[in-house]
A and B are shown apart, each in its own frame.
Chain A
Amino acid sequence: MRKNLNVIAAYSIMMGLIILVGIFQSWNIALSIFNLCLISAVMTMGANIQWGYAGLINFGIMGFTALGGLAAVLISVNPVQEAWSAGGTNILLSLFLIIGIVLAVRFVQKKYQKSKIRGYIIAAIIILGIIIIRFVSEPGIEAIEEVNPARTGFLGGLGLPIIFSWIVGAFFAGGLAFVIGKVALGLRADYLAIATLLISEIVIAIIKHEDWLTRGVKNVIGLKRPAPYEVNLQETEWFINLVEKFNSGNLALISDLSERQAALNQFVIEGSSVFVKLCYSGLFLVVVIILLILTQKALYSPWGRMMRAIRDNEEAANAMGKNVVKQHLLIFVLGSAIVGIAGAMLVTQDGLFTPGSYRPLRYTFLIWVMVIVGGSGNNFGAILGGFVVWFLWIEAAPIGLYLVNLTTAGLEDTHFLRVHLIESVPYFRFLMMGIGLLLIMRYRPKGILPEKIEIK
């Protein structure tokens, strides 16, 4: 108990802050911050597995998040029958062609010795394949995009409950990570960072512009929900009774019957959105706790010990007979898969998929700030980092406004400096993140909750 005191203290302060937001701003805001904190925590756990356990830099978090989101769309949206009949065969044919190309390349690689001619043959197969695929897929894509472009214009998904997409998102992200890992993990740390950053940009470019698959920048809205809808809740008997019971004290103060009914309606409307957010919080909390248990178990297992050994001294671990390349690939896939889960969770919560909103600053660099600030190598630290940084990211604007008002109190309300500063309050969050990161890196390089490994 005693040695975990700082962990408990840090988490209680964090919870206290969120509760304060609930009391002073509104419970709606507090819960939406809390939900996104939980999603961020899942992302930081993924990044922490890669960076904290194994020392691999992955700046492609944005790409894996977006793939998770894509999974949510492909799983939950109902299939568009017309689009399938219009261009489905072409798309399936292209898919088989891609598999065929991959198999052909593998075959050539296995069958022939490494030589210049083999390189040319492989290049020829790939280029020829791409040209054939373009000819096959183009009419299909055009036909699909012409099917009711204002509402669908894409193939749609499988029409399954959206919860499944959390697992599928993990598989998508893990699959991409396997490919990237095969290609790029041999690079030195900072090159790996740049390479993953650029590859994630390619992924986003594809998601943004392949309208037949994702609707691209037209966005997919109105995804299914694992939680009830507010409108339905507001008409449900038991829910109204519940709200009445909760607010009976307040309601009793109002004597007029019609006024009391109006007040109750107001409470029901507010209560319904809080209730929906609470449902999400419950779901997300389950995911976070399961992942936390698994990652903690992994950290203290022989496997976790081996990962730390590889991180701290790759050559020594190699000399001890550990397969460094294989383990690096494994952990890269695992961490990315966790990020993929978070991506699917994010889209589930928002109920919409907007490829244009995936920006490296928000989905890659901010997550890294979370990992560094929280404490790399420590799962509790990483989760805390997700909470602290997301909280600051949202609350930076009110804090910034307060600071501006404080420092320019002597100036008139219409003074140009004051007006300008108040207009630029939204950008104080960047300043806070940057200064926070720099201070932590300088004075507490291991994060708020540093890595602590005890041999049990």
Chain B
Amino acid sequence: MDALNALILLLNYIFVPALAYGSQLAIGAIFVTLIYGILRFANFATGDMMSFGTMIAILFTWYFQSIGLTLGFLPTALLAIPFAILFMGLYMLIIDKFVFKYYRLNKSPPVQLAMVSIGVMFVTQAVVRIIIGPSDRRFFDGEKFLIKANEFKEMTGLNEGLAIKSTQVITIVVTIILVSTLFWFLNKTKTGKSMRAYSDNEDLALLSGIDPKKIVMITWMIAAILATIGGVLYGLDKSFKPFTYFNNMLPIFAAAIVGGIGNPFGAFLGGYVIAFSEILLTYAYKKFFMYVLPESMEPDGLIQLLSTDYKFAVSFSILVIVLLYRPSGIFKGKIL
């Protein structure tokens, strides 16, 4: 019984939250990696682009709520996502046309494009803050829990409860659908294959008749989908605040590089590597050992490897270690 309790404890506090957080990071990391692989620059506007997409989704959610349109037990924001993606795609294409295109055609070095993306970051941040303001917003509606801790305790008769938030399930389900569609698209369709070819060797791809304009446009559209969905899922699970979105850029970068930048599958797994190590290393295991060990050996400290304040620092340290010992990432991305 104690072993079961310990297992539920780990599930409740580590596995489920880390899986949800990892999925959100993974989507962002695929976004970074796609831009890096095909447009060839580190996009410092990642976090702010995600917050822009989320902002539009929130505006649509409010509109739907005001006309009384809801999805019942599901959050209304899911209904707003397709519309938000349309606007986000438009925004991305406008940015590309007025900002990035010039440098791409001039074949500027990646560093210059990265600097330009900092300019885009400032502008996007300003637009988001001017339209919706810098405050913390929750836009989740519908049923909050799929399984409540108390219900679970009654059902199973265990000491530990397992609470599963519906947003966590939505995050995981949406991520699975989105990522599998994306991999199917990249690996099986003709457009996806030409995108990979373009990423692999630009000149050869151009020689074989691939239209770069089309590739770039599709990349931005996919980026818009990823940014919006990733942002909305994070906002539903936690809350929407432009500043946190900007900060989320850092673990997302870490995930993309740990997985091997330019490699979408690596980025996907990188998200979970970062999320799990963050939560595993900062969780206090006292209660877990109380269940597992006999009473005489019970620990008196918290048995916490690092205090939760260092949550971000954990992912960055992992990144630094990976960069040192395996610069191309765990799953062999582009060579540095």
Q: Which residues from chain A sit less than 8 Å from chain B, CB to CB?
A: 57, 183-184, 187-191, 193-195, 197-199, 201-202, 205-206, 208-209, 361, 365, 368-369, 372, 421, 423-424, 427-431, 433-435, 437-438, 441-442, 445
Contact = CB atoms under 8 A, between A and B. Distances in A.
A116 B230 CA distance: 40
Contacts of B312: 201, 205
Contacts of A442: 102
B250 interface: yes
A261 B99 CA distance: 61
Contacts of B112: 441, 445
Contacts of A205: 309-310, 312-313
A427 B320 contact: no
SS class, residues of chain B in contact with chain A = helix
A427 B41 CA distance: 27
A377 B116 CA distance: 18
Contacts of B273: none
Interface stretch (B62-70, B120-128, B210-218): B120-128
A140 to B, nearest CB: 16
B302 to A, nearest CB: 11
Nearest to B307: A209
A195 B320 contact: yes
A431 B250 contact: no
B99 A438 contact: yes
Interface size, B (range): 35 or more
A191 B119 contact: no
Contacts of A188: 336
Interface string B209-238: 000000000000000000000000000000
B121 A434 contact: yes
B64 to A, nearest CB: 20
A196 B317 CA distance: 11
B253 A194 contact: yes
Contacts of A441: 112, 115-116, 119
Nearest to A59: B44
B317 A437 contact: no
B77 to A, nearest CB: 23
B336 A198 contact: no
Given A197-B250, A424-B129, A202 B123 contact: no
Contacts of B250: 197-198, 201
A57 B112 CA distance: 11
Given A199-B316, A431-B122, A435-B119, 5 more contacts: A195-B323, A199-B320, A205-B309, A372-B115, A438-B119
B142 interface: no
Interface string B292-309: 000000000000000101
Contacts of B126: 427-431, 434
A188 B109 CA distance: 12
B324 A190 contact: no
B133 interface: yes
22 contacts: A184-B320, A187-B323, A187-B336, A190-B41, A190-B114, A193-B111, A193-B114, A194-B257, A197-B253, A201-B250, A201-B313, A202-B317, A205-B310, A205-B313, A206-B313, A208-B309, A365-B121, A433-B122, A434-B126, A435-B119, A438-B119, A441-B119
A428 B336 CA distance: 38
B246 A361 contact: yes
B130 interface: yes
Contacts of B161: none
A210 B130 CA distance: 36
Contacts of B42: 190-191, 193-194
B319 interface: yes
Contacts of B310: 205, 209
Contacts of A438: 99, 116, 119-120, 123
A50 to B, nearest CB: 13
Interface string B249-261: 0100110010000
